Amino acid sequence: MIKNSTERNTRFIKQKAYELGFSFCGVAKAEFLEEEAPRLEKWLSNNMHGKMQYMENHFEKRLDPTKLVEGSKSVISLLYNYFPEKEQQDNTYKISKYAYGQDYHFIIKDKLKTLLQLIFNEIGEANARVFTDSAPILERAWAKKSGLGWIGKNTMLINKKQGSFFFLAEIILDVELQYDAPIKDYCGSCTACIDACPTNAILPNNSIDGSKCISYFTIELKDELLPNEHTKNFNEWIFGCDICQDVCPWNRFSTPHQEPLFAPDNRLLNYSKKEWEEITEEVFQEIFRKSAVKRTKFSGLKRNIGAISKTNFNP
């Protein structure tokens, strides 16, 4: 039986979230995302998802949390910091900071399950599910509705206190909570991310042409070869890309995470280009044994390195 005190329950959930290491926690009413529906439809119809066919699936589920959790009343959004204390050396092939350590899917999902059990223990059993980049859910839209930040021109959620180097996670449940309000957009006239994107993937209408994004090419695209017309602009990125976040003025407020499982293998930080080019599958499995980089597989990483090194050799 649910204990009835929306204010007390909400306060309890946020306190436990912070104790588990989440940096920010907000709550929104579980309802159809009216504003996002036409944007998503237009984005898909313009083929800005490239060959990510899975983005076309579960259109209604992406917009309506009650189709993910029957009778849902609240969406709890959480941010988990991944900004590293140390970054890769200069003049080498680069990997997105989110993939430095162990795969966040497992680490954060474990924390979410712990949080959910604490919620059940405190307020009673409820119909609920946890998510972290693991289901058709518009995570940034919910984080925005929960007051955790605004959607920047690079489509990243930006938090006024600590920038955008966060993993997003959600708990959808059929319990009414105290809802937070969205905050204003603080990007203003800044176009740093648009100006810095080497493949012109960031459009002036606060959207991304995913089919031009370096992260799309180096992670999502499974073709045997990468298109030459784009690889010359990859700026040495072989898995993901952080350019639009690195140049964002709000990320001057980023602080190093405190999660030991996100600590990188020293080889990742210190490898030269030559060492990356000569990496063997055995070493790949050692360095990235529990990493999100495994998603691209050894063959994909070698493809990315080969395409960029070839471009550098033949400008």
Tokens representing 73 are: 């009343």
Asked whether 64 and 33 are in contact (CB, 8 A), the reply is yes
Q: How far apart are CA 138 and CA 199, in angstroms?
A: 24
Angle between helices 6-19 and 104-123 (to 10 degrees): 140
Task: Let me know if 133 is a catalytic residue.
Answer: yes
Backbone angles phi, psi at 238, to 5 degrees: -110, -10
Catalytic hit among 133, 174, 185, 246: 133
292-311 burial, b if ≥16 CB within 10 A, otherwise e? bbbebebebbbbbbebbbeb
What one-character DSSP code corresponds to residue 76?
A: E
Using alpha carbons, list the distances in angstroms from residue 189 to 77, 186, 204, 264. Answer: 28, 9, 11, 36
Rg value, the chain, Cα: 20
Give the pairing of strands 237-239 and 94-95.
parallel
Q: How far apart are CA 7 and CA 80, in angstroms?
A: 23
What one-character DSSP code corresponds to residue 131?
A: E
Using alpha carbons, list the distances in angstroms from residue 228 to 83, 231, 309, 314. Answer: 31, 5, 12, 11
Give catalytic residue positions. 133
